[in-house]
Amino acid sequence: MNLELINRIKSHFTSTYTAEPLMIFSPGRINIIGEHTDYNDGFVFPAAVNKGIVAAIGKSNSNESKAYAVDKDEEVSFSLNTLKPSHEGSWENYVFGVVSELQNRSKVIGNFNIAFGGDIPGGAGMSSSAALENSVVFGLNELFNLGLSKEEMILISQKAEHNYVGVKCGIMDQYASMFGIENNALLLDCRTVKSKPFEIDFKDYELILINTNVKHSLSDSAYNDRRSVCESIADMLKVKALRDATEYDLEGIKDKVTPENYQKALYVIQENKRVVEASKAMELGDLKTLGNLIYASHDGLQNQYKVSCEELDFLVELAKKSSHVLGARMMGGGFGGCTINLVPKLYSKTFTTEASKAYKNRFNKDCSVYAVALSNGTHIIS
Ligand code: GAF
C-alpha cells in the first residue's frame, strides 16, 4: 500500500473540505492473457495490483458536490440535478458517469466531496479508469447506504464508461479491480461474470511490466470500432457473441467479410482458446507453454486485431530475442501502455536495463519498469 499517496490524498481532502473522509483504495489491474475477449463474452485472466486510485470521500452540506483530482490540482463543482457529460477526455466524466448511473437506477444520494489521486499513470493500460469508477461507486454506496452488491457496482462503473466516457468497454477491468484477491489472478468468464482464482507463484519467474509511456490518439474510437466489427460478425454467424463461434463457423462466411475483419474475428476466437489453454498450463505449472501462449497473444494483437503499435512491438521483439523471457505481450486496449513479461527473477534486472537502454536509443524517450504485487480488490482503507 502506498502510504505516501494515502496521506497526500487524505490531507488534501481534510484541508480542502475540512472534514474526516472515508478512505478507499481501488486497484488497477494487469492481465496475463485474454485481450479484447471480454466484450465477446469470452475468458480473460486479470489480477488486481497494488497500484491504483486512492479516494477520500465525504458527505457535504453544500448545495453542490465537488470532485478534486489531486494529481492535476483541478477541482470541479457540480449539481446532482443537472448532470451531463463534460468535454471528451476529461477526468470528471468518470465521476459524473457513476453518479448518473446511480440516478438511472433510482439510487438517492446527497451532495458529496471527493478527492482522489493514483500511482498508475493514465494510458499505462492498467485501467486507472476502472479503478476510479469503482472507487466512486464504492464510496457512494458506503456513504449513502445504497445497498449495492459488488456485482451491481461493477455494472454501474462499466455503464459510466460507456455513457459518459464513450468507451464501450467490456467488464474485465471493473471486475478485476473490484474482486481482486491478494496473490491471485482470476480466470473470469465474462458471460457469467464469475471467476476462478488461481494462486500465482511463478517460482523462479516473475511478471514485469514495461510502460512505453505512449498513448496514441484514436485509441478510444479504434476500440469501439473493434467491438462493432465483432458484434456484426457474431450477428452474421447468428450467435450471441464470438465466444460461441468456432474457426470452422467463421470459415463459412469468409467470402462475406473483408479479409481484415475476418482476421479480427479469428483473433478473438483463437485468443479465447488461448486463455483456457493458459489456465491449464498454469494448473500444471507449465510456464513454457504459458509463455508461448503469451507471445502468440501478442502476435494476434499486432497482426490480426491490429491494436498494437511500434513501441509495444519493439519491446516484445526484445523480449523474444533475449531467449530468457518466456513470454511477452502488449496489455490492455492497446495503442500504447505496457507490455507484460514473464521473466526469470535472476535475469529481470539485466533484461529491463537492456530493454530500457534499447528503447531510449530507438525512440529517444524513456520507458518505465514496474514490478507489481497482486492485491485485493476495491476496499476501505482502515
Ligand atoms: C480495455 C477495456 F476497458 C477492457 O474491457 C478490455 O476490453 C481491454 O481493453 C482489452 O482486453 O482495458
CATH number for the domain that contains residue 107: 3.30.230.10
Q: Give me the pLDDT at residue 123, please.
A: 86
- Could you tell me if 178 and 281 lie in one domain? no
- Could you tell me if 238 and 183 lie in one domain? no
- Could you tell me if 147 and 92 lie in one domain? yes
170 lines ligand 1 (CB under 6 A): yes
Q: What is the best residue among 169, 221, 226, 301 to mutate for testing ligand 1's pocket, by most ligand atoms within 8 Å of CB?
A: 169
Assess if residue 114 is contained within a domain: yes
Assess if residue 83 is contained within a domain: yes
The stretch 284-313 carries a mean pLDDT of: 98
Q: Does the structure show a pLDDT above 70 at 307?
A: yes
Assess if residue 381 is contained within a domain: no
- Could you tell me if 144 and 274 lie in one domain? no
* Boundaries of domain holding 149: 3-199
Q: Give me the pLDDT at residue 38, please.
A: 98
173, 235, 313, 366: the catalytic one is: 173
Q: Give me the pLDDT at residue 216, please.
A: 77
C-alpha of 380 from chain center: 20
Specify the CATH number for the domain of residue 300: 3.30.70.890
Angle, helices 310-322 vs 348-363, to 10°: value is: 140
Q: Does the structure show a pLDDT above 90 at 73?
A: yes
- Could you tell me if 59 and 103 lie in one domain? yes
Residue 339's identity, in one-letter code, is T
Nearest to 182 by CA among 326, 375, 340: 375
- For 313-342, how does the pLDDT look when each residue is reduced to its tens digit (9 = 90+)? 999 999 999 989 999 999 999 999 999 999
36 lines ligand 1 (CB under 6 A): yes
ipTM above 0.90, yes or no: yes
Is 313 among the residues known to form the active site? no
Cα separation, 267 vs 26, in Å, equals 31
Q: pTM, whole model, 2 decimals?
A: 0.97
- Could you tell me if 262 and 214 lie in one domain? yes
Cβ-contact 353, 156 below 8 angstroms: no
Assess if residue 379 is contained within a domain: no
The stretch 178-198 carries a mean pLDDT of: 98
133 lines ligand 1 (CB under 6 A): no
Domain count, the chain: 2
Q: Give me the pLDDT at residue 324, please.
A: 95
pLDDT bucket at 130, cuts 50 / 70 / 90: very high
Cα separation, 223 vs 45, in Å, equals 19
Of 194-208, 218-232, 243-257, 259-273, minimum mean pLDDT range: 218-232
Assess if residue 382 is contained within a domain: no
Nearest to 27 by CA among 134, 153, 113: 134
- Could you tell me if 232 and 143 lie in one domain? no
Assess if residue 376 is contained within a domain: no
Q: Cα(126) to centroid of ligand 1, in Å?
A: 10
pLDDT bucket at 218, cuts 50 / 70 / 90: low
Residue 167's identity, in one-letter code, is V
Residue 76, all three cell numbers: 470541479
Assess if residue 252 is contained within a domain: yes
- Could you tell me if 26 and 162 lie in one domain? yes
Quick one: what percent of the chain has pLDDT higher than 90?
95
Q: Give me the pLDDT at residue 127, please.
A: 95
Q: Give me the pLDDT at residue 18, please.
A: 81
Cα separation, 368 vs 349, in Å, equals 13
Nearest to 215 by CA among 304, 87, 340, 126: 126
- Could you tell me if 179 and 277 lie in one domain? no
Assess if residue 335 is contained within a domain: yes
38 lines ligand 1 (CB under 6 A): yes
The stretch 261-284 carries a mean pLDDT of: 98
